[in-house]
């Protein structure tokens, strides 16, 4: 019995080796799992379900095949693919989850989230997030021409690369208080997230002396990894091309 977790693959047409790693994972370990959870940033960016790249089309078919083979697959949005919607999810057999979701994993309530909302010290990002998560902004963005949307997404990626190059690692990591608040608000002792690209298992002492666990997923490039959670243990398992 096991449930698997991945995030931050940032798939795109020009990096087929990462898509190849996912293909092998979906046809291999994922087939035997009770469920697969994708905690955001599956794609490098997503600018509407009406604009499907070759990679997105291919991945959609592989995910649908996994679902048909009996492994349910859940998806949470990341900061790159928050516009992925019902049309694509439906065709890929993906069940869309809200921003915060508590899953019962073999008796342990576990908070699942992308992780960007925990990075509260990154005030520039949080302001950007608020703008692009606004439904009015999203509706007008989705009405733009494909060329305009591609241009805006490229500009946002370029601005982000420049901005992240200038920020300290501390600012871009989770804020300790935000983490503690999430444990307390959701009444859980375990959370799983991605986004920071700093895979690790952390322990957090809560005010009442209890110790909660935070499991952080890795990003994928030429290699990747997945988190396997079973009834009595969990482990990070590397994937290499």
Task: Write down the least CB distance from residue 69 to Mn ion, Å.
Answer: 28
122 is a contact residue toward ligand LP5 (CB under 6 A): yes
Task: Write down the least CB distance from residue 47 to ligand LP5, Å.
Answer: 5
121 is a contact residue toward Mn ion (CB under 5 A): no
**Which run of H or E residues covers position 240?**
strand 234-240
Using N-to-C axis directions, what is the helix angle for 123-132 and 135-143, rounded to 10°?
Answer: 60
| Alpha-helical regions (H) of the chain | 16-27, 54-68, 86-92, 123-132, 135-143, 146-166, 176-186
77 is a contact residue toward Mn ion (CB under 5 A): no
163 binds, among Mn ion, ligand LP5, none (CB under 5 to 8 A by kind): ligand LP5
Task: Write down the least CB distance from residue 95 to ligand LP5, Å.
Answer: 22
Instruction: Transcribe 8-39 into DSSP letters.
Output: ---B-TT-HHHHHHHHHHHHTGGGGSSEEEE-
**Cross-strand pairs, 74:** 37, 95
Residue with Cβ nearer Mn ion (44 or 103) = 44
Task: Write down the least CB distance from residue 37 to ligand LP5, Å.
Answer: 20
Residue with Cβ nearer ligand LP5 (151 or 235) = 151
Query: Per residue in 124-144, is it b (16+ CB within 10 Å) or e — as a string?
Result: ebeebbeeeeeeeeeeebeee
Residues 169-228 that bind ligand LP5 (CB under 6 A): 172
**Cross-strand pairs, 142:** none
**Of positions 68, 104, 131, 169, contacts ligand LP5 by CB under 6 A:** 131
Q: Which stretch binds ligand LP5 (CB under 6 A): 62-70, 158-166, 177-185, 232-240?
A: 158-166
Instruction: Provide the token pair at 96.
Output: 């869309």
Residue with Cβ nearer ligand LP5 (190 or 195) = 195
Contacts with ligand LP5: how many residues (CB under 6 A)?
25
Query: In angstroms, rounded to a whole number, what is the distance separating the alpha carbons of residues 79 and 175?
Result: 17
62 is a contact residue toward ligand LP5 (CB under 6 A): no
Greatest Cα pair distance in the chain:
54
Query: Which residues are at the interface with ligand LP5 (CB under 6 A)?
Result: 45, 47, 79-80, 83, 116, 119, 122, 124-125, 128, 131-132, 141, 152-153, 155-157, 159-160, 163-164, 167, 172
């Amino acid at each position: 019995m096991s449930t698997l977790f991945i995030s931050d693959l940032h798939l795109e047409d020009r990096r087929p080796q990462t898509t190849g790693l996912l293909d092998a994972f979906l046809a291999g370990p994922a087939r035997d799992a009770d469920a697969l959870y994708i905690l955001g940033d599956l794609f490098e960016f997503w600018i509407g379900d009406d604009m499907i790249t070759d990679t997105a089309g291919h991945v959609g078919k592989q995910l649908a095949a996994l679902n048909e083979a009996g492994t349910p697959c859940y998806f949470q949005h990341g900061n790159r693919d928050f516009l992925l919607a019902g049309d694509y999810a439906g065709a890929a057999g993906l069940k869309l989850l809200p921003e915060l979701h508590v899953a019962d994993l073999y008796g342990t309530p576990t908070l699942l989230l992308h992780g960007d909302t925990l990075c509260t010290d990154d005030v520039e990002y949080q302001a950007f997030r608020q703008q692009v998560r606004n439904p009015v902004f999203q509706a007008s963005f989705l009405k733009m021409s494909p060329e305009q949307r591609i241009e805006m997404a490229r500009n946002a990626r370029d601005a982000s690369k420049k901005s992240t190059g200038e920020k300290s690692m501390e600012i871009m990591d989770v804020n300790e208080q935000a983490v503690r608040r999430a444990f307390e608000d959701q009444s859980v002792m375990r959370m799983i997230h991605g986004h920071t690209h700093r895979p690790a298992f952390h322990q957090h002492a809560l005010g009442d002396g209890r110790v909660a666990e935070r499991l952080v997923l890795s990003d994928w490039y030429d290699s990747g990894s997945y988190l396997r959670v079973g009834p009595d243990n969990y482990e990070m398992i590397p994937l290499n091309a």
